[in-house]
Amino acid sequence: MRKLLVSQLKPGMVVGRSVVSLSGAILLRSGVRLSEALIGHLKEKGIPALYISQEDELLEASVEDVVSEESRRHAQVAVQEVMTSVRQELETGRAASVAGAHEAKAQSITQELVDQIVTNRELTLNMSDIRSKDDYTFAHSVHVGIMAIMTGISLGYDQTRLRDLGVGAILHDIGKVKIPTGIANKVGKLTPEEFEVMKTHAEAGFEILRRQLDFSVLSAHVAFQHHERHGGQGYPRGLSGDQIHEFGRIVAVVDAYDALTCDRPFRPGYLPHEAAEMLFGAGDFLFEYRIVKAFLDNVALYPVGSVVELSDGTKGVVVEASKLLITRPRIRLVWDAEGDQMRPPVEINLLEHPTLLVTRVFTSPTEAGGEAVPQGLQA
């Protein structure tokens, strides 16, 4: 299974993972063969990418996710309900009338995420959710929550700290309910004036979580501090180093990673190894290096299903990511250095081949194999 941008889809490709709306309606079921009409429908819905099954078994690889699709959807619905309710209460001038219910909902869904991530703690982050333009904010919030919890586990957090961190992470952008929708949902670059308005969402989020909804002060500080930066370059208060609570430092890193790697209708995301390089480069400048390292220890730099080239010229598909060393996955070699198909293919673990390196990640199997692409993958 491999994620492709909608612009890369071709009629005849087979959907590998269902596309589901926040309400639970299946927009496109796994196993369906794409047509021009279906691809057009995806574009209309603002869905930027899709997981596709490789029709040739040589390039197919099963992917395990740290959190089930159902739990992701439950969490997205919970975030949507809380943010929608708070927005409505602010617009009508009423204080939150169901603050306790909001807190209980956030605590419950966060505990569900924590339980699954702890159970699957040996897995790396291989998959990201597919987001339409309409549910981007809620899906982003949940993915940030998942990545923050994984980082907290790496840092040795207990259940209570994981839950407080997770609640703050999934609601880190709740202050955007006070931002005019024309600014909050703007596709293009914000003007300097608009950016000043957008920056107010951090303090607004703290006020909502701490004073209006009475959440933990630690969870509320995630909303307040997730745009602060290690060297003092962030907002709203220009804090630096240990002045920023560790929860805020964690969510700053994972929020940036998600923004970098997420596919949007107006631009493709960076590949995981590209985003990781940017984060490492910003270590102890924009972000604390220790936090960056703890987070990236959980990320598959070359996700399962990626088609890659090695330093000896051979090419193949990643079939397993290693949490021991994220740069050294297990690879099924399909093409030799001359571009000819290997018969049979050979699986190697890069942990056992220290002189071999991944030198290139292809956007499609066709790009990797040229005329040597196994029959069935030809467009």
| 107 alpha-carbon distance from chain centroid | 21
Residues 83, 204, single domain; the answer is yes
pLDDT in 10s for each residue of the chain, 379 residues: 777 888 888 899 898 888 877 666 677 888 899 999 999 988 888 888 888 886 666 676 777 889 988 898 889 989 999 999 999 888 887 755 556 788 889 999 999 999 999 999 888 888 777 777 777 889 899 999 999 999 999 999 999 999 999 999 999 999 999 999 899 888 778 999 999 999 999 999 999 998 878 799 999 999 999 999 999 999 999 999 999 999 999 999 999 999 999 887 667 889 999 999 999 999 999 999 999 999 999 999 999 888 999 999 999 999 998 888 889 999 999 999 999 999 899 999 999 999 999 999 987 666 766 433 333 222 2
Residues 192, 214, single domain; the answer is yes
User: Is residue 377 situated within a structural domain?
Assistant: no
pLDDT of residue 378: 27
User: Is residue 73 situated within a structural domain?
Assistant: yes
pLDDT of residue 371: 38
Task: Judge contact between 18 and 72, C-beta under 8 A.
Answer: no
User: Is residue 97 situated within a structural domain?
Assistant: yes
Instruction: Give me the residues paired with residue 53 across strands.
Output: 14
pLDDT of residue 95: 59
Sort 149 into a burial class: Cβ within 10 Å, 0-12 / 13-18 / 19+: buried
Structure tokens at 64: 């395990």
Residues 270, 336, single domain; the answer is no
Tally the C-alpha atoms within 13 A of residue 17's C-alpha that lie toward its C-beta: 21
The parent domain of residue 34 ranges over 2-53
Task: Judge contact between 305 and 331, C-beta under 8 A.
Answer: no
Of how many residues is the chain composed? 379
Residues 88, 228, single domain; the answer is yes
User: Is residue 291 situated within a structural domain?
Assistant: yes
Residues 167, 146, single domain; the answer is yes
Count of domains in the chain? 3
pLDDT of residue 23: 65
Residues 6, 86, single domain; the answer is no
User: Is residue 58 situated within a structural domain?
Assistant: no
Residues 44, 78, single domain; the answer is no
Residues 281, 147, single domain; the answer is yes
User: Is residue 62 situated within a structural domain?
Assistant: no
Residues 328, 235, single domain; the answer is no
Which of 270, 296, 322 terminates a domain? The answer is 296
Residues 246, 186, single domain; the answer is yes
Residues 179, 85, single domain; the answer is yes
Locus of tokens 């809380």:
82
Axis-axis angle for helices 136-154, 246-261 (nearest 10): 130
Which of 296, 320, 354 terminates a domain? The answer is 296
User: Is residue 247 situated within a structural domain?
Assistant: yes
Which of 262, 296, 330 terminates a domain? The answer is 296
Structure tokens at 281: 């480069």
Report the CATH number at residue 21.
3.90.105.10
Rg value, the chain, Cα: 21
* Whole-number Cα distances in Å, 297 to 36, 69, 272, 322: 40, 23, 12, 10
pTM score over 0.85: yes
Residues 131, 161, single domain; the answer is yes
User: Is residue 243 situated within a structural domain?
Assistant: yes
